[in-house]
Amino acid sequence: MTNASPDLARRADELRRQLAYHAYRYHVLDAPLISDAAYDSLYRELRDLETEHPDLVTPDSPTQRVGGAPVEGFRKVRHPAPMLSLDNAFSVEEVRAWGERMRRLVGDVPMDFVVEPKMDGLTVVLHYTDGVFTLGATRGNGIEGEDVTANLRTLPGVPLRIPVDVNADTPAPPTLVVRGEVLMHKDAFARLNASRVAEGLEPYANPRNTAAGALRQLDPRITATRPLTLYTYAVVVGPRLRSQWEALEYLQTMGFPVNSDSKHADNLNDAIAIAEEWLARKASLNYDADGIVLKVNSFALQEELGVVGSAPRSAIAFKPAPQEGVTVLQRIAVNVGRTGVVTPQALMDPVRIGGVTVSQATLHNADYIAERDIREGDTVVLKRAGDVIPQVLRAVVELRPPDAQPWHMPPTCPSCGEPLVRLPGEAATYCVNAACPAQLRRHVEHFAGRGAMDIVGLGEKIVAQVVDAGLVHDVADLYHLKEGREALLTLEGFAEKKVDNLLAAIEASKDRPLARLLFALGIQHVGSTIAETLARQFGAIDALMAASLAEVQGIAGLGPQIAESVVDYFANPRNREVIARLKAAGVRTADAHAEAPKDGHLAGQTFVLTGRLPNMTRDEAKSRIESRGGRVTDSVTRKTTYVVAGEEPGSKLDKARQLGVAVLDEAGLLRLLEG
pLDDT confidence of residue 423: 77
Average pLDDT, stretch 323-328? 82
pLDDT-derived band at 411, boundaries 50, 70, 90: very high
CA distances in angstroms from 465 to 361, 402, 471, 474, 517, listed in the order given: 29, 47, 9, 14, 23
- Residue-wise burial string across 601-613, b where 16 or more C-beta atoms lie within 10 A, e elsewhere: ebeebbbbbbbeb
Closest CA to 380 of 369, 365, 366: 369
pLDDT confidence of residue 99: 95
Whether 549 contacts 564, CB under 8 Å: yes
pLDDT confidence of residue 637: 82
pLDDT-derived band at 387, boundaries 50, 70, 90: very low
pLDDT confidence of residue 323: 67
- Taking the alpha carbons of 142, 147, 148, 152 in that order, is the dihedral positive or negative? positive
pLDDT-derived band at 27, boundaries 50, 70, 90: low
pLDDT confidence of residue 167: 73
**Pairwise CA distance, residues 158 & 92, whole Å:** 36
Task: For residue 352, list its beta bridge partners.
Answer: 357
The tens digit of pLDDT for each residue in 128-146 reads: 999 999 999 998 878 888 8
Whether 524 contacts 200, CB under 8 Å: yes
Whether 115 contacts 142, CB under 8 Å: no
- The three-class DSSP label of residue 593 is coil
Reported as half-sphere exposure (CB side, CA atoms, 13 A), residue 359 has a value of 3
pLDDT confidence of residue 527: 83
User: Does the pLDDT at position 309 exceed 70?
Assistant: no
One of 118, 186, 482, 583 is an active-site residue; which one?
A: 118
Residue 154: φ, ψ to 5°: -80, -10
pLDDT confidence of residue 385: 54
Query: Is 383 designated active site?
Result: no
Closest CA to 200 of 610, 520, 513, 570: 520
- Most confidently predicted of 102-116, 184-198, 277-291: 102-116
Dihedral, 564, 565, 566, 572 alpha carbons, nearest 10: 100
Task: For residue 379, list its beta bridge partners.
Answer: 328
**Pairwise CA distance, residues 91 & 293, whole Å:** 13
pLDDT-derived band at 53, boundaries 50, 70, 90: confident
pLDDT confidence of residue 67: 46
pTM for this entry: 0.50
